[in-house]
Amino acid sequence: MNAKRIGRMLLAAAVFSAGLVLPAPHALAQQQCVSGGSDQRSVPWPQRALDPARAWPMSTGANQRVAVVGTGIGDNPLLSGRVADSTTLAQSNGRTSSGQPDCLGIGTGVAGIIAAAATNGVGFHGVAPGATLLSAKVVADSYVSGGPPQAVEPELLAGAIDWAVGKNATVITVAEVAREDSAALRQAVQRAIAKGVVVVAAAGEPVNGNNPYAGKPTFPGGLDGVLTVGAIDPAGQVTPPATSVDIVAPGVGVMTTFPGSGLGLASGSAFAAGYVAGAAALVRSYWPNLSNTEVVKRLRATATPANEGVDSRSYGDGVVNPYQAVIDQVVAGRPAELPPFRQQEISPEEKARLAAEDNANAWAYGAAGIGVGLAALVIALAIFGPRGRRRRWRSGLAPDPVEHPEDELPQPPAELFGGRAGNS
């Protein structure tokens, strides 16, 4: 009997004698997964900022199939009956697999932002609660170690996009990013766009400056035809995107669905992509005849401009506005540049005609003034004429008062007994 076998026997005997049972690898893996959320009644800040429910009288996203390419979609009461189909493309080590539909909780959170049901007494709800969800799991219980940070192989993303197109998705939300481009991913995106699908991709989070992928674009967000989304916080400040974005949405401290039950807070551009994908579902449901490129144009044209203006690297065209995207009228084509203004030269004949008009106007104004003066004179004579005749045209004013000047130095009074003075 070798030493390894003896060691295993001793360990088993010690566990049995202590009355303990070691958890299976399956249970150990589950302990690494995100726990369920809690009961939340308050209205989250993205609902207050975007208020997508204003668009529900026109559209709830009905007849739209929105795919979520991410960590999977777990069970949650607010997502009950929302997931029409799912697939798992991620490969995991069987000894450490949790067996959970979504161990990390990102895909479940994105799905809730897109289509969670509105429930009485719960402040949170999805942007397009009438939409149907598709789940393509490309991340197992954790990201692959040793590779690019928080990234997925581009071939996995390509397979997930093709699967979603095969399931008749009208909007595809790529919540995960690849740090490298590939021909397979490019072709999958092109096939999706050719089928009329709106492809929405998270911009991803920036990596450390010492990382070789720092400052480089992410994929499929960096590909043509893909609507790339960045995240903003409650103050409207954008988190540093990993790449240039087309539009932004709430993605920091947002409330959303957690696997199992309840709600909780999450952050990342993946959740911002969920808000844009939900808005795309609203538009596609209300405007079914619009092409995917027209839907993207409408989302960008109706975005609320950021302080940096349109075409900002960090904000793109601004913050997604689901209500305006549904109701606004968007003209076809791009605005044409106006030609420069040029002062036209006036011919001598035109100058003479304008001068004659000015003279005629001056004479007309003068005649009108004279007419007004004569009319005032006639009125005055009609009113005051009879009174003047009665007074024989004398002034009707009272005469000036007659002044009686007094002596400046009055004489003193006569002395009494003045006669006696001379007799004394």
Q: Name the least confident of 84-98, 171-185, 192-206, 263-277.
A: 84-98
Beta strands in 233-378 (DSSP E): 247-250, 254-257, 263-266
The C-alpha atoms of residue 117 and residue 61 are separated, in whole angstroms, by 12
Residue 416 lies in a domain: no
Helix axes 183-194, 154-166, angle to 10 degrees: 20
The C-alpha atoms of residue 251 and residue 222 are separated, in whole angstroms, by 19
Residue 163 lies in a domain: yes
Is residue 15 pLDDT above 60, yes or no? no
Nearest to 116 by CA among 102, 129, 104: 129
Same domain? For 236 and 366 the reply is: no
Give the pair of three-digit tokens for residue 381: 């004579």
Same domain? For 258 and 375 the reply is: no
Residue 417 lies in a domain: no
Residue 341 lies in a domain: no
Residue 332 lies in a domain: no
Measured CA distances, 48 to 116, 262, 302 (Å): 16, 20, 18
Beta strands in 258-393 (DSSP E): 263-266
3-state percent breakdown (helix, strand, coil) of the chain, nearest 5:
35, 10, 50
Q: Which helix (H) or strand (E) holds 85?
A: strand 83-88
Residue 406 lies in a domain: no
Residue 256 lies in a domain: yes
Which CATH number does the domain housing residue 71 bear? Answer: 3.40.50.200
pLDDT, tens digit (0-9, with 9 covering 90-100), for 62-114: 999 999 999 999 999 999 999 999 999 997 765 568 889 999 999 999 999 99
Same domain? For 65 and 191 the reply is: yes
Residues 197, 292: contact at Cβ < 8 Å?
yes
Mean pLDDT of 189-198: 98
Q: Between 145 and 300, whose confidence is greater?
A: 300
Same domain? For 296 and 367 the reply is: no
Same domain? For 361 and 263 the reply is: no
Same domain? For 220 and 296 the reply is: yes
Q: Give residue for tokens 């790339």.
A: 228
Answer with the one of 309, 327, 345 that is the final residue of a domain.
Answer: 327
Same domain? For 93 and 242 the reply is: yes
Answer with the one of 286, 309, 327 that is the final residue of a domain.
Answer: 327
Amino acid in the structure at residue 155: E
Mean pLDDT of 197-226: 91
Same domain? For 88 and 221 the reply is: yes
Same domain? For 220 and 290 the reply is: yes
Is residue 276 pLDDT above 70, yes or no? yes
Residue 420 lies in a domain: no
Residues 303, 319: contact at Cβ < 8 Å?
yes
Same domain? For 320 and 374 the reply is: no
Q: What's the total number of domains in the chain?
A: 2
Same domain? For 59 and 178 the reply is: yes
Answer with the one of 284, 310, 327 that is the final residue of a domain.
Answer: 327
pLDDT, tens digit (0-9, with 9 covering 90-100), for 303-312: 999 877 777 8
Residues 128, 285: contact at Cβ < 8 Å?
yes
Same domain? For 273 and 370 the reply is: no
Domain that holds residue 379: 356-385
